[in-house]
Structure 1
Amino acid sequence: MRKFKFFINFEKEEKWLHEMAKQGYQLEDKSFGYKFLSAEPEDTTIKVDYRVFKKQEDFIDYCTLFEDSGWKHISGKKSSGAQYFKKVDENSEEDIFSDNISKAGKYKRLSSMFVQMAFTFLPLLVALMTTDVIDLAAIVNPKLLYLTPGLWEKTGISFWMAFLFETPFALFRGIMWAFIPVMMTLYLIYSVKANILYQKSKKA
């Protein structure tokens, strides 16, 4: 079974995964949505960290460190960011983090990742604007999305025929032009939200 959800708050995500395990759905993978396997209902503890590694050896050492402490790495890759751990030793601690500062650190790393993703779009946006592929002025003047010569000087039936014919193309053009600015804005909003969670977690 595969489910699609989006979380910035890791605590809410952990709670949801806990409820899924109690219903008999064990997390197998988190890449294209959440992939679950049917299993016996289990009252288990799942914790999430956020880390990206440059070297596979560092990633293996990271997983081994937690597994030696009673936590099994159940999903996540070297460059995936989100890392999922399941408590397998009853005698281990109830959290994978020893203090609030280290626990809050995952939100700081997540916030930085969103900022980086937002700015990776910037060179592409500038290039498309300077080559007139994208005209952001269409945000305040939607008429620019219509490329039919003399469209706005037409009247009567000829205007409506031309207008209705091009409108689907104009809408598609508008969606394409807006995609990059919208994605950059969303990533920056997510970064701010993650940073707020970082500040709250640090003080908890």
Structure 2
Amino acid sequence: MKKVVYRFYLDYENEENWINEMSAKGWHLEKFALGRFTFTKGKPGKYVYRNEFISEMKTKEKTEYFEFLSDSGIIVIHEFGGWVYIKKEANEGPFELFTDNDSHIAYYNRMMNFFIAIFFVNVFFGILNFNIMDDGKNLGYVKMTAGSLNIMVAFLLMFPIYKIIRRKKELEKQQQFFE
């Protein structure tokens, strides 16, 4: 049996937690795309899921990384929009992607750089659309709408950027404590 659920998360860790809650209920992720999740019914709690942001990886790096994961008993479920969901059987023990703070901090930096770039692109086009609204071609409403959407997307991106910064600072604080 299949089940499609629509949910939109601004926090990838909350999304991952929800996917694992679904797994605990016997719904296993099969595919995802921008707020659309497809699950299949199975044994409750069989898998532990993780998501990872891999947009900066080149094709060869991804292929090698996916092979490494496969050799480690980890199954790549689906990749979409720079994100990949992977799973491992729960009975094989804990499943963490980052074994040290340095690699986790580097991951947060990569993710933050991407989100900040998208933020500034949306701010730029939002301002640009508002500044050239009335060009005499009766496209003012279209440009105003596009500009408003750009600004709204930029505003929404502030939430994951803030959370990433906060989580990164927590890790850096832990790292200083143990040094």
Q: Please report the TM-score for the alignment, with normalisation by the length of structure 2.
A: 0.74
Q: Does structure 1 conserve the Cα–Cα contact (< 8 Å) formed by 2:8 and 2:34?
A: no
1:123: how far off?
A: 4.2
Q: Which amino acid aligns with 1:119?
A: F
Greater relative contact order (CA < 8 Å, ≥ 6 in sequence): 1
Q: Does structure 2 conserve the Cα–Cα contact (< 8 Å) formed by 1:76 and 1:82?
A: yes
C-alpha distance in 2 between matches for 1:127 and 1:35: 35
Aligned to 1:157: none
Aligned to 1:160: none
1:42: how far off?
A: 2.7
Say yes or no: does 1:131 pair with 2:132. Answer: yes
The C-alpha deviation readout for 1:24-61, integer Å capped at 9, x for no partner, is 21111221324223322331211122121453222111
1:190: how far off?
A: 2.8
C-alpha distance in 2 between matches for 1:89 and 1:68: 17
Q: State how 1:25-40 maps to structure 2 within 5 Å.
A: 25-40=27-42
Q: Which runs of 5+ in 1 are unaligned?
A: 135-170
Aligned to 1:101: 102
Say yes or no: does 1:14 pair with 2:16. Answer: yes
Q: Which has the higher strand share?
A: 2
Q: Which amino acid aligns with 1:55?
A: K
Percent identity between the two aligned chains: 18
Please tell me the root mean square deviation across aligned C-alpha atoms, in Å: 3.0
Q: Which runs of 5+ in 2 are unaligned?
A: 136-140, 175-179
Please state whether the residue corresponding to 1:191 is helix, strand or coil: helix
C-alpha change, 1:203 and 1:85, in structure 2 (3 Å) is: farther
Aligned to 2:83: 82
Aligned to 1:182: 152
C-alpha change, 1:173 and 1:73, in structure 2 (3 Å) is: closer
Aligned to 2:177: none
Q: Please report the TM-score for the alignment, with normalisation by the length of structure 1.
A: 0.66
The C-alpha deviation readout for 1:85-136, integer Å capped at 9, x for no partner, is 10148546531222133234433322222211112224433433443449xx
Mark the structure with the bigger radius of gyration.
Answer: 1
Q: Does structure 1 conserve the Cα–Cα contact (< 8 Å) formed by 2:126 and 2:146?
A: no
